[in-house]
Structure 1
Amino acid sequence: MVKSEDGRDVPVVQAFAFGKYLGYLKVTFDEAGNVVQSTGNPILLDSSVPEDPSILADVNKWKKALANYSSQYVGETLVYLNGTFEECRFRECNLGNLICDAMVHHNIKYADELQWNHVSSCIVQGGSIRSSIDERSRNGSITMEDLIAVLPFGGTYDLVQLKGSTLRKAFEHSVRRYGGNTGEFLQVSGFHVEYDMSRPPGERARSISVLCTNCRVPVYEPLDNSRLYKVVLPSYLVEGGDGFSMIKEEKLKHDSGDMDISVVASYITERKKVHPAVEGRIKISNSNSGGSGHTILLILIGLVMALSRSL
């Protein structure tokens, strides 16, 4: 139960994902529309729950229609593409790096005398990455079905213009609720970010640097609050999703892009084989404990999430 902006109690519930559970929620309201009581439990949809024949027939029909598309070969990965909750929502993950690099590459245009490209950076929320791709499965081959599992929401990757101050707010929001099972932690390309989790929310981004575009040799420069930057990001964030209201309210220009899956698929196909690494784009420390407290926190979070998903 959480408090809304007008002070009302609001039950917040979730029935996991992928149709594994059916959510049952009973809510009692008073005459003024306030929640008096709420009860309910998720229902596991195992073999004891009979399948609906008409729905099953529709599902099978769509499966046949999608079979040719989902089985299309995209490319090959030489490494494990880690898209787990425990990685992409709490630290830099190599699948997040791959996706963000694809987003920037898709926006590479022609260089001129002033800049090598008009945009060098990307942000994408870790919560949008929903699955991993195992390099030991099918000899590392990647199909469209794999990418649909990784990016199931069907958004676009858009280009926006933001002030440095807005980007700073976005990175602070990225770790405002750090440690919970939330999706706003940002994966990046063209940024180097250092967080100090011993600081209070809103003051945790100790250092942010961005890859220059008006340069012949790209280097990372400190983020300038007053400067304008072009950034590639999901349409979900452009609309203020996951609490990124500052992007929706403060963006100065917005150009819609192509579908997320097509952008990533094209990038992988062009390279034929991919092997993204964790490169130190995002660094997280806890100055009060020399980093050990942060490590213990991540271990505990990972154990709790693993146990909850096995239940």
Structure 2
Amino acid sequence: MPATSASPASSVQRRRRRTHRLLATAAGVLTVGALTAAALPAGAASAGEGRAGTSPGHHEGHGGGKGDKGRYQDVQLLSFNDLHGNLEPPSGSSGRVTRLHEDGTTENIDAGGAEYLATHLREARKGNRYSVTAAGGDMVGASPLISGLFHDEPTIEALNKLDLDVTSVGNHEFDEGAKELARLQNGGCHPVDGCYTDKGFKGADFPYLAANVLDEKTGKPLLDPYWVWRKNGVKVGFIGVTLEATPDIVSAEGVRGLSFEDEVDTINKYAEELRRQGVKSIVALVHEGGFPASSAYNYDCDSPGAGDGVSGPIADIAGKVSPQVDALVTGHTHAAYVCTIPDPAGNPRMVTSAASFGRLYTDTTLTYDRRTGDIARTAVKSANHVVTRDVPKAPDMSRLIDKWNALAAPIGNRAIGHISGDIVKDGTESPLGDLIADAQLEYGRTLDPETDLALMNPGGIRASLTYAASGGEGDGVVTFAEGFTVQPFANTVNLQDFTGAQLIQALKEQVSGPNEAAPKILQVSSGLTYTLDLTKTGADRVVTDSIRLNGEPIDDAATYRVATNSFLAGGGDGFTTLGEGTGDLVGEDDLTALERYLTANSSAADPLAPPAADRITIVR
């Protein structure tokens, strides 16, 4: 399911100012100054006629020495996407990948963690003097506490150490707005929270590319649209775009003053511009993705009988992007695939995605023809590789993580609740979704006792609560850091009035309009029940006659007081009706609601059990 974001910048700052004050009190100091394995079929044709490019902000690729004098030169392209600030190994299902064996069986493998990712990438580069590392967006945003508490400066520092050469922006790069994205690129202390260390923040060593993100006043790209990697006469251009629908899944504050253009039109425009400049080898970094037929990272989606291999938005984009582009590195859907999709000329072209959270990286070999300056697509090879945890940790990355953990520890290690088992976020209706909705309902009633129900968007739930936590604080203990990882957006809890008819319409919007192809099922608080009939289509999948609140049918003409987060209250995720409420009352952030609920309803002697997730009846 696509990641759903964000909250108004003021809410983010409000949460961080609160935690910073606590951190400063506990630690005595806070700030300085202000404190898939698949090869291209043998019949694939060469790329289209040319591309081009001088690069804004050029720097050389990894490795040294002179290049080969022969006609063909292999260029190693290492790529990953959707890191989301996961510097430490992600826990639970978020920290595993599925491997498919030849006999059809599967196994789950623990994966991820920046200390291990660094080791794997450095090992992969050995013997490859022509190696470039690129990413497909969402490097930051919706991050765990170690990064999110510090406006993702730790992740930018980690990416610098990973020798990332270039990345596209993703939708989450706009969670705190364009000015904050510019600061991550260029450096400088945070305008509100100041500097966290005496060395200050120098920003990214790599360029963020935002070809289809325009400043509405100037009509020009917010950041560089492309960048060219050069080494010993070899030139590879990179064009970076994010999904056109970014304004639909990011708070209005985060994208104020920006317009997001069509991905295909933008890539084709700059591919032609690069061609005119003499760059004929091009990779598109596209923060939009697809859905493979298998969840296994090594599923061969080009094998006979695999059907379309990968479906979803990227399949349409890849089929329309100019043949001048030789490969697409994608993201956003957190899926893993290495597939070929025919370009408009009918020639196969590699399209890859490395899941999310640093669990995988993709190793692609692009064979560069020095005579033509183009990629010989018949020789392109690519595969996803697991970032296993059975390799030595990179010492420099361990030191970075230790540094930031020391700053975050006074806040992050604080216990906020106890659970008797894993409370997962997976499923149409999830136990964790029910828990969060119940927490917001209970909090809403402290603001207004007449609050009737709460609705929570599934994309705002970023991780499960695991019983055996990795932080060493003891089984079943929920820490503030874990809560922050679950709900990192600092959305406020908002109360609004809706008619019964509006409430029913909002439920139908889960499976209709922009959400018809990829439903976004709201998590509902205790007392609200209904049937979702997946054998039907569109809005009819919500069985209207089945909707009950505390056992009573919804009255179209009655008024209901509903708690949602500020993202939904602004009509986010295609829920336009939820943006039409009246009688607005804005409370504290959603993590405060979760913390208060866990503290009030659990203890070491009486931990909270996972909810049954039985409020929505599914008919398949």
Q: What is the letter of the counterpart of residue 433 of structure 2? A: G
- Secondary structure, in 3 states, of the residue corresponding to 1:106? helix
CA distance in 1, matches of 2:477, 2:447: 32
Change (3 A) 1:110 1:79: same
Structure 1 residue 65: Cα displacement: 2.1
Following superposition, the deviation at residue 154 of structure 1 comes to 1.7
One-letter code aligned to 1:40: L
271-280 vs 37-46, greater mean Cα deviation: 37-46
Matching of residues 218-233 of structure 1 within 5 Å = 219-233=550-564
Answer whether contact 2:499 2:560 (CA < 8 A) is retained: yes
Tell me, which stretches of 5 or more residues in structure 2 are unaligned?
Answer: 1-79, 86-111, 113-133, 137-166, 169-238, 240-265, 271-319, 330-352, 355-360, 363-386, 389-393
Aligned-pair CA distance for 1:56: 9.5
| Preserved CA contact (<8 Å) 2:430 2:613 | no
Residue matched to 2:74: none
Q: Does 2:536 align with 1:209? A: no
What's the CA shift for 1:210? 4.3
In 1: Cα distance, 2:530 partner to 2:83 partner: 31
Encode CA deviations 1:63-113: one digit per residue, 9 max, x unaligned.
3221110100112101220113xx1xx2x21111111111111122599xx
User: Match for 2:411 among 61, 69, 84?
Assistant: 69
The residue aligned with 1:155 is 491
**Code of the aligned partner of 1:277:** P
Aligned to 1:194: 531
Question: Could you tell me which residue of structure 1 aligns to residue 142 of structure 2?
Answer: none
Match of 1:297 in 2: none
Residue type at the aligned position of 1:228: T
Q: Alignment partner of 1:139: what SS?
A: coil
Q: Cα deviation per residue 1:236-259 (whole Å; 9 max; x = unaligned)? A: 1011111112221x2122111111
Is the contact made by 2:495 and 2:585 (CA closer than 8 Å) also made in structure 1? yes
Q: Contact 2:531 / 2:547 at 8 angstroms: preserved in 1?
A: no
Question: Which stretch has the larger CA shift, 199-208 or 160-169?
Answer: 199-208
Q: Is the CA contact (8 Å cut-off) linking 2:497 and 2:559 kept in structure 1?
A: yes
1:261 Cα offset (Å): 0.9
Count of aligned positions? 251
Aligned to 1:28: 267
TM-fit CA distance, 1:198: 2.0
* Structure-1 residue corresponding to 2:570: 239
1:102–1:152 distance in 2 versus 1, CA, 3 Å: same
Aligned to 1:118: 450
Q: Which has the higher contact order (CA 8 A, sep 6+)?
A: 1
* Structure with greater helix share of residues: 1
1:157, 1:258 within 8 Å by CA — same for their partners in 2? yes
2:618 maps to 1:284: yes
Residues 1:40 and 2:323 aligned together: no
The equivalent residue for 1:274 is 608
In structure 2, how many angstroms separate the alpha carbons of the residues matched to 1:253 and 1:158? 10
For the residues of structure 2 that align with 1:160 and 1:208, how far apart are their CA atoms?
23
User: What CA RMSD, in Å, does the superposition of the two structures yield over aligned residues?
Assistant: 3.5
In structure 1, the partner of 2:506 is 170
Q: Which of the two has higher C-alpha Rg? A: 2
Q: Any unmatched runs of 5+ in structure 1?
A: 1-13, 112-116, 212-218, 286-293, 295-311
Distance in 2, matches of 1:30 and 1:240, equals 32
Residue 305 of structure 1 corresponds to which residue in structure 2? none
1:260 aligns with 2:590: yes
2:540 maps to a residue whose letter is E
SS at match of 1:274: coil
CA distance in structure 2 between the partners assigned to 1:149 and 1:199 by the alignment: 35
One-letter amino acid of the counterpart of residue 460, structure 2? S
Give 1:60 shift. Answer: 5.8
The aligned counterpart of 2:425 is 83
TM-score of the two chains, using structure 2 as the length reference: 0.36
- Are positions 1:134 and 2:476 aligned together? no
- Kindly indicate whether the alpha-carbon contact (under 8 Å) linking 2:452 and 2:560 is maintained by their aligned counterparts in 1: no
**Could you give the per-residue CA deviations for residues 164-186 of structure 1, whole angstroms, max 9, x where no partner exists?**
22211211121334674x6x211
The offset of 1:199, in angstroms, is: 2.0
Query: Which amino acid letter does the alignment assign opposite residue 618 of structure 2?
Result: I
Contact residue 127 and residue 185 of structure 1 kept, 8 A: no
Letter paired with 1:28: I
Pick closer, same or farther for the CA change 1:60–1:109 going to 2, 3 Å: closer
Q: 2:516 and 2:614 mapped to 1: Cα distance?
A: 18
Contact 2:534 2:541 (8 Å CA) reproduced: yes
Task: Report if aligned partners of 1:118, 1:230 keep a CA contact under 8 Å in 2.
Answer: yes
| CA–CA distance in structure 2, aligned partners of residues 283 and 17 of structure 1 | 34
* Residue 66 to residue 208, structure 1, CA distance change in 2 (3 Å): farther
Contact 1:191-1:208 at 8 Å conserved across structures: no
Match of 1:96 in 2: 433
Map 1:4-23 onto structure 2 (within 5 A): 15-19=81-85, 22-23=135-136
Query: Cα gap change, 1:81/1:61 in structure 2, threshold over 3 Å: closer, same or farther?
Result: same
Q: Which amino acid aligns with 1:258?
A: E
Residues 165 and 95 of structure 1, relative CA distance in 2, 3 Å threshold: same
Partner of 1:11: none
- Contact 1:161/1:251 (8 A) holds in 2: yes
Deviation at 1:220, TM superposition (A): 2.1
Task: Name the SS of the counterpart of 1:269 in structure 2.
Answer: helix
Contact 1:82 1:93 in 2 (8 A): yes
Q: What is the distance in 1 between the residues matched to 2:447 and 2:409?
A: 38
> Does the C-alpha gap of structure 1 residues 17 and 223 become closer, same or farther in structure 2, counting only changes over 3 Å?
farther
- Residue identity in the other structure for 1:65: L
